[in-house]
């Protein structure tokens, strides 16, 4: 007979390098509530933050 391997459900084991969706570029962006003003361009800047990994992204209006 062969060796018996225990079954481990997917949700119970941690992923090796953080969230796999963010590693593939599929972030879950959320707007940070504080609006910022860029002095050099004179425009409002919206700051987005990924809920899963914490990466930040800026866009000027």
In the predicted model, is pLDDT for residue 22 greater than 80? yes
Mean pLDDT value across the chain: 78
Rounded average pLDDT over 25-32: 90
In the predicted model, is pLDDT for residue 58 greater than 80? yes
pTM exceeds 0.75, yes or no: no
Rounded average pLDDT over 29-55: 82
Report the sign of the C-alpha dihedral through residues 32, 33, 38, 41, in that order. positive
* Pairing outcome for strands 56-60 and 29-31: unpaired
Q: Which residue has the higher pLDDT, 43 or 12?
A: 43
Rounded average pLDDT over 36-46: 74
Question: Residue 51 in contact with residue 26, Cβ under 8 Å?
Answer: no
């Amino acid at each position: 007979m062969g060796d018996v391997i225990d079954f481990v459900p997917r949700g119970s084991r941690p992923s090796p390098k953080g969230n796999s969706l963010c590693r593939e570029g599929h972030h879950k962006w959320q707007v940070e509530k504080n609006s910022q003003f860029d002095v050099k361009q004179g425009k409002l800047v919206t700051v987005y933050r990924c809920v899963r990994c914490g990466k930040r992204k800026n866009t000027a209006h």
